[in-house]
Structures are given as C-alpha cells and as structure tokens.
Structure 1
Amino acid sequence: MQKITALTFAVTCAITGQAFAESHVDRTGWPDSFTVGTASQGGTFFAYGSGWANLVAEELGVSGGGEVTGGPMQNMALVHTGDVQFGMTTMGPAAESLAGTNPIAPGLQMTNACAMFPMYQTPFSVTALSSSGITSIADIPAGARIGFGPAGSTSDTYFPRMMETLGVDFERRNGGWSDLGGQLQDGLLDVIAFAAGVPVPAVSQLEVQTDVNIIEFTEEEQAKIIEAFPVSAFEISAEAYTTLEAPARSVSMWNFAIANCDLPASFVNAAVDVVMSDNERMVNIHRAATSTLPENWDKNAVLKWHPGAAQWFKENAGADIPDSMIHGM
C-alpha cells in the first residue's frame, strides 16, 4: 500500500497543534498518528480521503494521511481490525460487511467499524470512447471488455450484477481507475463502469486527452436497477464534465467515513468537527464534498455511530440518533 502523508504536518504542528493542545479538549488516549483507508489512485475516494486526512492532521496537530486500498470492502475490514484508524465505505458494502458476507473475510461480522460522517453519493456511470460508437447500454456489444474498478470495490461488487440485470454480456476486468482509463484509451477495454463520486478524476483526465461518451441509463433501465439493488435515482449534473451537455440519468449509493469504534470519543469528535465545520474547505478538496453536510447524517441506516461522532451531530445538527444506533449504548 502507498501512504500519502500530510506534508505540511511539520509546519502546522507548531501552530495549529500548539493551539489545539492549549484548548480544553481532552486528548487522553489519542493516537500519535492516524491513517485513512481510501481506494485506488484516480478514483474519488483517493482524492477525497487523502484531502480530509491531511486537513485533520493539520488542524489537530496529529500526523496522518491517506493510504491506497482496495476500496470500501477492504476499508471496512481494515477499520474493523484497527489496521487503519479511519476509512471510507459505501452503504451497500457496509451492510454486507456487517452481515458477514464481505468477500475479504467471509463469515466475519465487521461490527467494530463505526459511522463517522456523511460524505457524498456515489453515482454509477458508464464511459466509452466516442470512436467506439457506444452511446447507450443497449449499444454495448456481446463479450465487451468492461473495467469494473479494483476487485472488491463498490463498483466491482455491484456494477457487474447491474449489467447482468440489464442483459449485458461482458468480460470482466479489474484494476485501478487510472490504469483502466489508460486501457480504455489504448483500446484494451470497450467500456469502463465507474462507481465513484463525480467528477471522477480518471474520466476528467480522459476528457482532456480524447473524446468520450458518458452513457446514461434509460428510465426503464434506471427503474429496473433501483428495484433490484440498494440504490436511488441520481442525476449527474451537466457541469460535472465538459462532455455532458445535459444531466445524465444514473443511480447512486451513499458513502460514509468510518472510524474504528475503539478510538477515543474526543479524538473522533474533534476530527468530525474539522471536516463538518467548514464545507468550503472540503469542496476545495473535491467537488463531491458539496454533499458533505451535517444535515445528511440521516443517510446512514446501516452502521452504528461512533459515540464521538454521534455527540457532534446531536449537538451541531440536531441529529435524532437513537441509543440503539450508537456503539456501546
């Protein structure tokens, strides 16, 4: 795994770290450093996760950074075991992990990963080169080589099933988003099926280098997927990509930041405060963070909340979180 640390930590530790240490927050039990499990380079999880990791490190004066992982499924496992302190997951993989059906560790109920804060919705979108002539799901030829992202990712877990539900016959390929984008451009793939916050960095890069088609679902396709999977209707805004001239019909699944449930409540509370108290800074990290808002706390109906996070949302967002949904209560 590749770790992206907070490069500015040494400078900010003397300033923000000292200021934070002089505050009345109880730092008992705080770790000396922390890691945020993200996903592969070129995807939104990596950019978003590395950004908020660095932001928290700078503000709290604790060394920390993002780490490349296999995405939501692996992050649930890493946070549950405490191999990383924080991570990011999607509600579908989270539910499977709690039920013990995470393919990384079948039978293990990953109940020591707690909800931390709402991130954004993950739209499911399909991209092909314009030169392929593929402009709709129905255009995808039998036996098409489709890249579904890293093995075990949200995209790899759900998009192949969605394609099968829509009657698409394909060869399944896996890899990091940047790598798959290069393969599409080189003609080694016919289609990439992305499940990532928009704009997906790999798609934005492709737009700069070549002409692409961002393929939306028809109303009938969208309805069929919503009926079969834990997703909701979503529109990718026309402003997300230069290629789009109008919003693109899609489906989406919510993402949440997660914390190891055994972390000190004061540490998690302070980290949540850094992220949730200034949305403009988060949007500067990634545009998907426009949905990283306190009022979206209610989009979690799967994971138990970390006590420190629950306290923040109760006090600052009027969250009505029942005790049964808070870890340890």
Structure 2
Amino acid sequence: MFYKIFTGLALITATSVMAQEVDKSDWPSSIVIGTGSPGATYAIYGQGLASIISNHVGVPTSTQQTQGPYQNVTLTQNGRIDIALTTMGPAYEAWVGESELAPGVQHNRLRAVAPMYISPFQMAALADSGLNELSDLEGKRVGLGPAGGSGAYWTRWFDKLGISVNASFGPFGDQMSQLSDRRLDAVGAAPGIPAAAYTELETMEPAHFFAFPAEAIETLAEEFPYLQPVVIPPETYRSLDGPVNTLGMWNFVLTHEDLPESLTYEITKAIFAYHDDLVASHGSARETLAENVVHNRFLPLHPGAERYYTEEGIELSPIENGAN
C-alpha cells in the first residue's frame, strides 16, 4: 500500500514539475546586450546582467561595446542587438522619431524590461570661483561632456533657463582636469552618484555644486516626460553642506517587442532574484528594484516583464502595462 501511495505522489510531483517547465522552443541560442564605452557604468553593469542571464536563465549572453544609449536603442529597434541599456531621454526621442541617429524613424518596437538607476544632472565649479547659481554661468566657459551624451541635454536646460554659456564638449574626465586647471569655469554631466570624477576633484580642492531653481525643476519635469526631480543627499560629496535639488533621467533595460514573452519574463525575474549579484558588479544597481519600474512614464512594458510585475503586485500605469 505504501509503495502504491508513494508512486502516486511521485507521479503527481513529476507531472507538476513538467507543467512548470518553460517552453524554450522559440528562445534564441544567444543574447547580445548593447552597453557603452569600456570602463563606463554601462559596460560594467552590462557584464553583471549578462552573467545573470547566462548563469540563471540559461541563455549564453555577451555584451557589445557601443556609443551608448542613442546607438543602443536604434540597434535594438533594428534587431541588431537583443537588449539595450539606455537613459530614458534618448529612448523617448527615439520613440517619438526624434533620434539624432535615425531622425523621423519612430522606434515603436522598443519595450521596457527593468529599471536600472537614476542619473542626476550635476554641475560643479571650484568653490573659490564665486559662482553660486546656475544663472552665474552666463558667458562662462562650461564643459558639458560629450556632445552626443548629457551635453545635448545641458544645452537644452540652459536654453530653457535663458542662460547663454560658452559651451565646450569633450570627454568628462578631460574636462574635469580643465576645471581643476581653471581652463573651464564649471563642468556638468549626468552620471550616477557619487560620480568618481567629482569625488577626485574634491581631493584636490573644494567644489561647489549648483542646484536647479524650484520653478525650473517643475517646468522642465512637466515638459519632458523622461525628467524627474532628484535630490542629491549631502553625504554624496564632501563639499556639500546640504541637499542639492536637481533633475535626473532613469536608466532602463529595454528590449525588442519580438523577444519571446517567456524569455523576457525569466530575464526580468532573474534580475531581481539575483539583485545582490548585480549590485556586486556595480553599486548603481542598488536602485535596480522592481518598484522603480513606475519611473517609466512613456514606454510600454514587454508583456513578459509586465507579467512579472503583475505577479509581484506592483500597480502599473496604462503606459507601463502596454497601452499606447
């Protein structure tokens, strides 16, 4: 009798396990993640994500160095890569057909998968410069990083604020050296916090970080759906004696709409199940939390990702749950 009961239970268990097995018949044999330049946050974060997908989802995954967010979204739209790491500014412009790389082409096959972290806009001068407000930068020599990166956005913010600066574009690290040498009056960027370049600057002399005026934060956040108010905590940099109010853009993991739903679900689940591994690869992943998916304000979720967040009880907006 015991043997018959045990056998019956074993058969039920085996049947249950088989029912839970994922159909992988339409899964690709490999996955490519578009990241960014060597050593940058995207390159490091992407390696961590690739390791999670390879080891825990079971699909060999590699990274491809690219020119960053603008190129990543276009490569994904065209099916050249499977997953894009991007800030939501370039994603929005591509979505509405205003990408600098593909003007007039609406990237309507992009789908959101998971939040990564927020990149606050940061602008600093040397503490003894006498520059205290963003308006003080009128006519000053201001480094804005690469022209195709956050520099393009800083230019817009200055235009909206009616501030005319003598803008300089180039690698962020080089511009920080120019600031230290006083060949530039201020340098702006949109890295994660704390930004190593600003921290290194502070080891040589104190810096001053500029805040956005409250009315500018409200106006810009309302006009641009990829912008959100951000507060840089005072403990972020040794030069701060209080919080700095600014604006930021979230970074997201995106994919093509044709990536199989079951695979996207498993990838989304693995990102959060192995969150500690992702944080170990790069500290910015501390903000890679399922509840932060609500910071996507315009891009539909991939159905596989949507299923995961629904199961987790996260309330999704009409945009996040796939409505256009």
TM class, shorter-chain normalised? 0.7 to 0.9
The 2-side partners of 1:316 and 1:25 are apart by 19
**RMSD, matched Cα:** 3.0
Q: Say if 1:91 and 1:253, in contact at 8 Å, map to a contact too.
A: yes
AA aligned opposite 1:308: G
Q: Does 1:218 align with 2:210?
A: no
Query: How far off its partner does 1:258 sit?
Result: 0.3
- 1:84–1:241 Cα change, 3 Å: farther
The SS at the match of 2:121 is: strand
The 2-side partners of 1:324 and 1:59 are apart by 26
Q: Say if 2:297 and 2:319, in contact at 8 Å, map to a contact too.
A: no
Q: Say if 1:136 and 1:215, in contact at 8 Å, map to a contact too.
A: yes
Count of residue pairs the alignment pairs up: 304
Aligned to 2:198: 203
Cα deviations by residue, 1:124-164 (Å, 9 ceiling, x for unpaired): 110223354433313325141322x33333x2332111112
Q: Does 1:189 align with 2:178?
A: no
Q: Does 1:290 align with 2:291?
A: no
Aligned to 1:102: 99
The 2-side partners of 1:25 and 1:141 are apart by 59
Q: Say if 1:71 and 1:150, in contact at 8 Å, map to a contact too.
A: no
Gaps of 5+ in 1: 1-22
Identity percentage over the alignment?
A: 33
Q: Does 1:158 align with 2:158?
A: no
Tell me which stretches of 4 or more aligned residues in structure 1 moved more than 6 Å.
none
Q: TM-score, normalised by structure 1?
A: 0.79
AA aligned opposite 1:254: W
Aligned to 2:36: 39
AA aligned opposite 1:28: S
Cα deviations by residue, 1:242-274 (Å, 9 ceiling, x for unpaired): 332321111123322101222222222222112
Q: TM-score, normalised by structure 2?
A: 0.80
Q: Does 1:126 align with 2:123?
A: yes
Q: Say if 1:42 and 1:176, in contact at 8 Å, map to a contact too.
A: no
- 1:146–1:278 Cα change, 3 Å: same
Gaps of 5+ in 2: 1-19
Cα deviations by residue, 1:63-103 (Å, 9 ceiling, x for unpaired): 43444433322221111112221112233322221111111
Matches within 5 A, 1:228-267: 228-230=223-225, 231-267=227-263
Query: How far off its partner does 1:62 sit?
Result: 3.7
- From 162, 167, 170, give the equivalent of 1:172: 167
Aligned to 2:81: 84
